[in-house]
Amino acid sequence: MKLFVKGLKAGIPIGIGYLSVSFTFGIMAISLGFSWWQAVLISAFTLTSAGQLAAIGIMTVPFQYLSMLISQLTINLRYAFMSVSLTQKVSKDFNGIKRWLLGFFMTDEIFAVASSEKTVTPLFFLGLSVMPWLGWTFGTLAGSLMGSILPDLFVASLSIAIYGMFLAIIIPPAKRSRPILAVILVAALLHCALRFLPIFKEIPSGIAISLAAILSALLGAALFPITEGEEAAK
């Protein structure tokens, strides 16, 4: 129980952060034509920022199922890596069904906090996940219900919040590491090329993001293979 409460407390700042970002996700979903309950379902059962954002864009066009699958698998590939990484830190009793249930809560921020612990117990991880999940789900609910009440000015301005969060995740590491900066710049330029060059105009948007990300990460891995030290600094 003590471990659960410890996790719960550690999750509060993440929960507050998620509340504001998912609020804008709710607004964006409504503006794309989704119902409030659809937005809330997506948040409650997906718990991703980038993945959901790409998903609602794809869903506005019918029959892009393969696009959806590929975009989710590539955008969320980082979770697979985080999951593998966290298997090295979990306590002995964190096994079997507990991994299948709690693995759902793997997000960038929950992973970041969990992996800063010496050992991660199931109770701590569950506690850590509660506030972020509540924040993400209820923030989406609030955003999708209040988005239509708020003046357009606020709604438009809040739409940039999610990108602010992305910047806050990638910029500080890019400042410390030239290879990370290079990968970020290549991914951004490549995505622009895929979006704006006429020869690529048939490529669906979800796939374009994945292609840009995979190619730039491959380039990074080929040119700047990481050392043990870099991995530890992450």
Partner 1 sequence: MKDFLIYFLILVASTYLIRTLPFALFKKPIENRFLKSFLFYIPFAVLAAMTVPAVFTATGHIASSLVGLAVGLIFALQGKGLTAVALLASLGALLTEGILLLL
- How many angstroms separate the CA atoms of 33 and 80, rounded? 31
Min dist CB 114 to partner 1, Å, is 11
Which residues are registered as beta bridge partners of 90? 120
Residues within window 147-176 making contact with partner 1, judged by CB under 8 A: 153-154, 156-175
Min dist CB 230 to partner 1, Å, is 7
- Pick 2 or 65: Cβ nearer partner 1: 65
**One residue of 21, 30, 113, 126 binding partner 1 per CB under 8 A:** 21
Is 204 a residue that touches partner 1 (CB under 8 A)?
no
Is 5 a residue that touches partner 1 (CB under 8 A)?
no
- How many angstroms separate the CA atoms of 31 and 126, rounded? 33
**One residue of 27, 58, 126, 131 binding partner 1 per CB under 8 A:** 58
Is 134 a residue that touches partner 1 (CB under 8 A)?
no
Helix, strand, coil percent content, the chain, rounded in steps of 5: 80, 0, 20
Min dist CB 148 to partner 1, Å, is 16
Min dist CB 171 to partner 1, Å, is 4
Is 50 a residue that touches partner 1 (CB under 8 A)?
yes
Residues within window 61-100 making contact with partner 1, judged by CB under 8 A: 62-63, 65, 68-69, 72-81, 83-84, 86-88, 96, 99-100
Note the helical H segments in the chain. Answer: 2-31, 36-46, 50-59, 65-75, 77-87, 97-102, 108-114, 122-146, 152-158, 161-176, 178-196, 205-223, 228-233
Q: Residue 231 is inside which H or E element, if any?
A: helix 228-233
- Pick 8 or 155: Cβ nearer partner 1: 155
Helix (H, G, I), strand (E, B) or coil at 8: helix
Helix (H, G, I), strand (E, B) or coil at 64: coil
